[in-house]
Structure 1
Amino acid sequence: MPTNRPLILITNDDSVFAPGLHLLIDYVKSMGDVIAIAPDAPHSGQSSAISVNKVLQINRHEDYNGAAIYSVNGTPVDCVKLGMHAVLDRRPDFILSGINHGSNSGNSIIYSGTMGAVLEGCMLGIPSIGYSFHSHNQAYSLEACREVVEKITSRVMEQGLPSDICLNVNIPKCSKVEGIKVTRAARGFWTEEYA
Structure 2
Amino acid sequence: MYILVTNDDGVQSPGLLALRQALDTVGETVVVAPERNWSAASAARTLFDPLRIDPVPMADGRQAFVCSGTPGDCVALALLGFLELRPDLVVSGINIGPNLGNDVSYSGTVAAAREGAMMGVPAIAVSLDGRRHDDFKPAAAYAARLAQAAVRHGLTPEVVLNVNVPRGPIRGVLVTRLGRRIYRDELIVRHDPRGRPYYWLGGGEPEGELTEGTDTAAVAHGYISVTPIHFDLTDQRWLERLQHWRLDV
- TM-score w.r.t. length of structure 2: 0.71
Say yes or no: does 1:37 pair with 2:32: yes
Structure 1: 5+ residue stretches without partners: 1-5
Call closer, same or farther: CA 1:153–1:134 in 2, change over 3 Å. same
Question: Residues of 1 paired with 2:181 and 2:133: CA distance?
Answer: 28
Offset of residue 66 of structure 1: 8.8
Change (3 A) 1:8 1:66: farther
Q: Where in structure 2 are the equivalents of 1:34-113 lying within 5 Å?
A: 34-62=29-57, 68-113=63-108
CA contact (8 A) 2:12 2:59 kept: no
2:60 & 2:27 partners in 1: Cα distance?
A: 13
Structure 1 residue ranges, 4+ long, deviating more than 3 angstroms after superposition: 63-68, 192-195
Residues 19-72 of structure 1, C-alpha deviations (whole Å, 9 max, x = no match): 011100111102111100000000001111101232211111136769641001
In 2: Cα distance, 1:43 partner to 1:123 partner: 20
Residue 169, structure 1, aligned to residue 179, structure 2:
no
Task: Tell me what 2:118 maps to.
Answer: 123
Q: Which residue of 2 aligns with 1:157?
A: 151
Aligned to 2:179: 186
3-state SS of the aligned residue for 1:71? strand
Change in Cα spacing, 1:63 to 1:105, as seen in structure 2 (3 Å) is closer
Report the 3-state secondary structure (helix = DSSP H, G, I; strand = E; otherwise coil) of the residue aligned with 2:18: helix
For residue 175 of structure 2, give the secondary structure of its aligned residue in structure 1: coil
Please give the secondary structure, in 1, of the residue aligned with 2:101.
coil
Q: Which has the higher contact order (CA 8 A, sep 6+)?
A: 1
Conserved? CA contact 1:15–1:39, under 8 Å: yes
- CA 1:163/1:60 → structure 2, altered by over 3 Å: closer, same or farther? closer
Instruction: Tell me the equivalent position of 2:216.
Output: none
Deviations 1:132-183 (A, max 9, x none): 0001x21111122133212211111211214511100000011x32210001
SS in 2 for 1:191: strand
**What are the ranges of 5 or more consecutive residues in structure 2 without an aligned counterpart?**
186-202, 207-249
Q: How many angstroms apart in 2 are the aligned matches of 1:169 and 1:63?
A: 24
Specify the SS of the correspondent of 2:172: coil
Which has more strand, going by share of residues? Answer: 2
Give the Å deviation of 1:188: 3.0
User: SS at the partner of 1:125?
Assistant: coil
1:191 CA drift (Å): 2.6
8 Å CA contact 1:35, 1:67 repeated in 2: no
Q: Is the 8 A contact 2:127 2:163 kept in 1?
A: yes
- Identical pairs, percent: 34
Q: Secondary structure of the equivalent of 2:57?
A: strand
CA-based RMSD of the aligned residues comes to 2.0
Farther off after superposition, 6-15 or 150-159: 150-159
Larger radius of gyration: 2
Q: Secondary structure at the match of 2:17?
A: helix
AA aligned opposite 2:133? A
- Number of paired residues? 188
